[in-house]
């Protein structure tokens, strides 16, 4: 694996290998007083976040630190990005300082792919080489997509898969519902692709206004009736309504959205007993999920966060040290 840009680049064996590495790293850290493995000593991981984040940025930083990498965080507001520097120039600068891996979150769909393209091809036209010509380590910079616009968020899908594997014992043949603002959700797209690759049956439940064009070609089924789907689900993933990406009315009111597509306590009772409730966070309690449902024993929201650290450790490990035999 050279970069991690899209879950579409992972086949079932590669995705399973990442999940297995994540499990192994979790076991390796279990009960340790000092949570530090020497695995990535001397490697530098830079997180470059052009959008707000709590979970993703912090868990990449912890993941790097627990494997002894040097981690540096750059945020758009505190860097030269706020002076008008381009994504390419910022990335070139960080790469020249010796970044082995740049983890990027950016509001533009496709930005992580652009970055990877620059890293892989820059220099071929006589310009500066990003990553491939560095005196520091001599190894090219790996790019990880930590969310590009409404496109993809591969490590979120991997940590969701890790959580579903833990809770359900496996993913193949399970029916997973993904509910809410699919149109603006990179989490939904990455999850549909990865869960389908791992053999799950996925159903998207959303109002027609919150579904992207072309959804018919996604490897899933689409429904507009949440109550009808609930009794047959093994897991349900609630999506945040991404109001920061909405310019215009996608539904009549927040209250009407919550009534039709929110996971209320009454609605949660329609799920089978074994069903797992997921949410990538940040949750808007009372909008897409009722507080009591988010805190119930079958909710895995904090387990997702915990798995996020181990999955990101696995991703950094596979990128920087190579997949284990
Ligand atoms: C998600 C994101 O940023 O795409 N959050 C996350 O990474 N856990 C989902 C969201 O913001 O709603």
- 109 and 208: one domain? no
Query: Total structural domains in the chain?
Result: 2
- The CA 52 to ligand 1 mean position distance, Å, reads 9
- 174 and 200: one domain? yes
* 0.75 surpassed by pTM: yes
- 54 and 188: one domain? no
At 96, which CATH number?
3.40.50.1370
- 158 and 288: one domain? yes
CA distance linking residue 245 with residue 273, whole number of Å: 35
Sign of CA dihedral 276, 279, 280, 281: negative
24 within domain boundaries: no
- 172 and 234: one domain? yes
Contacts 24+ apart (CB under 8 A), 132-140: 134/95, 134/96, 134/98, 136/97, 136/98, 137/43, 137/98, 137/100, 139/100, 140/2
Q: Is 247 assigned to a binding site? A: no
316 within domain boundaries: no
56 lines ligand 1 (CB under 6 A): yes
- 43 and 66: one domain? yes
Q: Is 127 assigned to a binding site? A: no
- The CA 240 to ligand 1 mean position distance, Å, reads 8
Q: Is 279 assigned to a binding site? A: no
Tell me the average confidence (pLDDT) per consecutive run of 10 residues in the chain, 325 residues long. Answer: 96 98 96 93 95 94 98 86 84 86 96 91 52 52 96 98 98 98 97 98 96 96 97 98 80 85 97 98 94 98 98 98 80
**b/e map 286-308, b = 16+ CB within 10 Å:** ebbbbeebbeeebbbbebbbbbb
- 74 and 212: one domain? no
Given ligand 1 and candidates 50, 183, 281, 283, which is best to mutate, with the most ligand atoms within 8 Å of its CB? 281
The last residue of one of the domains, among 118, 134, 149, is 149
- 125 and 73: one domain? yes
- 163 and 243: one domain? yes
- 99 and 85: one domain? yes
Given ligand 1 and candidates 55, 60, 144, 147, which is best to mutate, with the most ligand atoms within 8 Å of its CB? 147
153 lines ligand 1 (CB under 6 A): yes
- CA-147 nearest atom, ligand 1: 4
- The CA 269 to ligand 1 mean position distance, Å, reads 26
- The CA 228 to ligand 1 mean position distance, Å, reads 27
- The CA 151 to ligand 1 mean position distance, Å, reads 12
- 97 and 133: one domain? yes
232 within domain boundaries: yes
308 lines ligand 1 (CB under 6 A): no
- 87 and 188: one domain? no
Domain residue limits at 145:
36-149
């Amino acid at each position: 694996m050279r970069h991690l840009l899209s879950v579409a680049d992972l086949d079932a064996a590669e995705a399973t290998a990442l999940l297995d590495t994540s499990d192994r790293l979790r076991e390796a850290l279990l009960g340790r007083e000092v949570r530090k493995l020497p695995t990535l000593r001397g490697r530098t991981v830079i997180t470059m976040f052009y959008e707000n984040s709590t979970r993703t940025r912090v868990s990449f930083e912890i993941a790097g630190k627990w494997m002894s990498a040097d981690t540096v965080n750059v945020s758009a507001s505190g860097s030269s990005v706020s002076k008008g520097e381009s994504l390419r120039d910022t990335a070139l600068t960080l790469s020249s300082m010796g970044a082995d891996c740049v983890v990027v979150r950016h509001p533009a769909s496709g930005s992580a792919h652009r970055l990877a393209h620059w890293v892989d091809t820059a220099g071929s036209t006589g310009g500066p080489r990003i990553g491939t010509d560095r005196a520091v380590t001599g190894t090219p910079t790996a790019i990880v997509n930590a969310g590009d616009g409404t496109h993809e968020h591969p490590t979120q899908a991997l940590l969701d898969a890790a959580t579903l594997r833990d809770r359900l014992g496996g993913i193949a043949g399970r029916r997973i519902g993904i509910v809410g603002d699919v149109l603006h959700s990179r989490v939904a797209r990455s999850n549909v692709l990865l869960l389908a690759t791992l053999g799950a049956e996925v159903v998207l439940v959303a109002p027609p206004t919150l579904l992207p064009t072309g959804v018919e070609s996604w490897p899933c089924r689409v429904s507009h009736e949440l109550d009808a789907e609930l009794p047959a689900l093994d897991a349900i993933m609630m999506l945040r309504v991404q109001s920061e990406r909405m310019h215009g009315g996608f539904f009549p009111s927040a209250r009407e959205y919550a009534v039709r597509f929110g996971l209320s306590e009454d609605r949660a009772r329609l799920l089978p007993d074994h069903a797992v409730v997921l949410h990538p966070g940040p949750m808007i309690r009372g909008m897409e999920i009722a507080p009591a449902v988010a805190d119930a024993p079958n909710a895995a929201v904090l387990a997702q966060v915990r798995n996020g650290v181990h999955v990101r450790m696995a991703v950094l490990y596979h990128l920087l040290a190579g997949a284990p035999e």
